[in-house]
Amino acid sequence: MNENIFTEKAPAPVGPYSQAVLSGGTLYCSGQIAIGFLDASVTKQTEKICESIAKILEAANMKISDVVKTTCFLADMKDFAEFNKCYEKHFAHRPARSCVAVRELPKGALVEVEVIAAR
């Protein structure tokens, strides 16, 4: 059975989807953007996104070290090094990852990150 996960400690979804869905022992977290910090630097947005992901994981009784896969979206690949510097602090356990540049992200965000975590 699937369970929708929601916490008020992270931004509410900006569309018709859940913050995350827990299915068995696997958590699928929707892409997170830095709501409230969209005019900030890539580093600040990434920091806020990682904080939100940690809170969503916490709501599912999980932690960052349970993340096995991330998918990262950048509005501009010139921000890759700056993004990696911040990302690395939060995902020191080095989960599998994809990182791509996209033409545009919701709300004008510079970064979006989604994760899959497993117990």
Tell me what pLDDT residue 14 has.
86
Catalytic one among 50, 72, 86, 99? 99
Return the H-helix or E-strand segment holding 52: helix 42-59
Measure the CA–CA gap between 72 and 1, rounded to whole angstroms.
28
Tell me what pLDDT residue 107 has.
95
CATH of 2-118, one of 3.40.50.720, 3.30.1330.40, 3.40.50.170, 2.40.30.10: 3.30.1330.40
**Domain spans in the chain, listed from the N-terminal domain onward:** 2-118
Of 1 and 68, the one with more pLDDT? 68
Give yes or no: 86 in active site.
no
Sign of the torsion formed by the C-alpha atoms of 78, 42, 51 and 53: negative
Measure the CA–CA gap between 23 and 29, rounded to whole angstroms.
11
> What are the angstrom distances between the C-alpha of 80 and each of 40, 72, 105, 118?
16, 10, 15, 26
